[in-house]
């Protein structure tokens, strides 16, 4: 009965606070995961862009160093910058990109896969719950309609036998015959005046 009242919205539905809290957390987790991956991808691209820009600066200094009028301090700076760029482009940049791909960007892959799986299951769970509620609501309406139909039938037919659950067919037949033999109120009213007329004539 409580389930029927809950479906028909005549009783307060139960609330699972733990489920609601976890559901809110799942909604917040999705944007956080996307923001993390986007930020780390931008950081990787920014570092590569900085190294590329420094490489262009190094080429400019190389061109300046070829001029005989450039002082020796500038030439020394060019040599140091070239050596640093060779080291950066040779080992540091490749190691940075490998670490970003294997560790930083992939750190949330497992969590993202679990989140996507939960996101797929949530609509199916909601549809199942909705289907169960719809079925219960239809059953409740059918039960109410059946009860109302029985009450209407008994009001229109006061002498109709009301069979109890578990009653044998013999008992049901006796009850039906007894009700058929019992005269109705209308038959009494129609017989009595006719009997009075016969007694008067005699």
pLDDT in tens, 81-115: 888 888 888 888 889 999 999 988 888 888 888 88
Residues 106 and 197 in one domain: no
* pTM of the shown model: 0.48
Angle at which helix 17-65 crosses helix 72-87, to 10 degrees, equals 140
pLDDT of residue 118: 79
pLDDT of residue 146: 55
Q: Which residues of 166-192 are buried (b: 16+ CB within 10 A; e: fewer)?
A: eeeeeeeeebeeeeeeeeeeeeeeeee
The count of structural domains within the chain is 2
Residue 78 CB coordination number (10 Å): 20
- 182 is in which domain, residue-wise? 169-201
Residues 132 and 175 in one domain: no
Residues 126 and 184 in one domain: no
CB 64 within 8 A of CB 78: yes
User: Do the domain assignments include residue 86?
Assistant: yes
Please, what's the largest Cα pairwise distance for the chain? 162
Comparison of pLDDT for 21 and 142, the residue scoring more = 21
Confidence of residue 142 (pLDDT cuts 50, 70, 90): low
Q: Which helix (H) or strand (E) holds 152?
A: helix 109-156
User: Do the domain assignments include residue 105?
Assistant: yes
Residues 38 and 17 in one domain: yes
Give percent of the chain above pLDDT 70: 53
Which range of 17-21, 42-46, 114-118 scores highest in mean pLDDT? It is 42-46
Give percent of the chain above pLDDT 90: 10
Q: What is the mean pLDDT of residues 150-154?
A: 53
Average pLDDT, the chain: 72
- On the question of pLDDT at 65 being above 80, the answer is yes
pLDDT of residue 41: 92
User: Do the domain assignments include residue 24?
Assistant: yes
User: Do the domain assignments include residue 137?
Assistant: yes
Confidence of residue 152 (pLDDT cuts 50, 70, 90): low
Q: For residues 17 and 25, what is the distance between their CA atoms, to the nearest angstrom?
A: 12
3-class SS of residue 176 = helix
CB 137 within 8 A of CB 8: yes
Lowest mean pLDDT of 99-108, 134-143, 154-163, 170-179, name the range.
154-163
């Amino acid at each position: 009965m409580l389930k029927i009242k809950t479906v028909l919205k005549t009783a307060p539905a139960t609330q699972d606070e733990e489920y609601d809290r976890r559901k809110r957390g799942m909604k917040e987790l999705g944007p956080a995961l996307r923001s993390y991956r986007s930020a780390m991808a931008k950081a990787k691209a920014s570092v590569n862009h900085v190294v590329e820009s420094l490489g262009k600066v190094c080429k400019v200094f190389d061109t300046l160093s070829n001029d005989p009028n450039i002082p020796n301090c500038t030439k020394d700076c060019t040599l140091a910058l070239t050596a640093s760029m060779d080291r950066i482009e040779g080992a540091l940049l490749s190691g940075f990109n490998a670490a970003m791909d294997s560790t930083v960007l992939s750190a949330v892959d497992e969590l993202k896969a679990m989140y996507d799986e939960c996101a797929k299951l949530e609509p199916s769970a909601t549809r199942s719950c909705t289907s169960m509620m719809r079925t219960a609501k239809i059953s409740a309406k059918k039960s109410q309609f059946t009860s109302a139909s029985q009450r209407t039938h008994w009001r229109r037919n006061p002498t109709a036998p009301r069979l109890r659950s578990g009653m044998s067919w013999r008992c049901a037949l006796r009850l039906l015959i007894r009700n058929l033999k019992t005269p109705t109120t209308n038959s009494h009213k129609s017989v009595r005046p006719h009997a009075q007329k016969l007694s008067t004539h005699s």
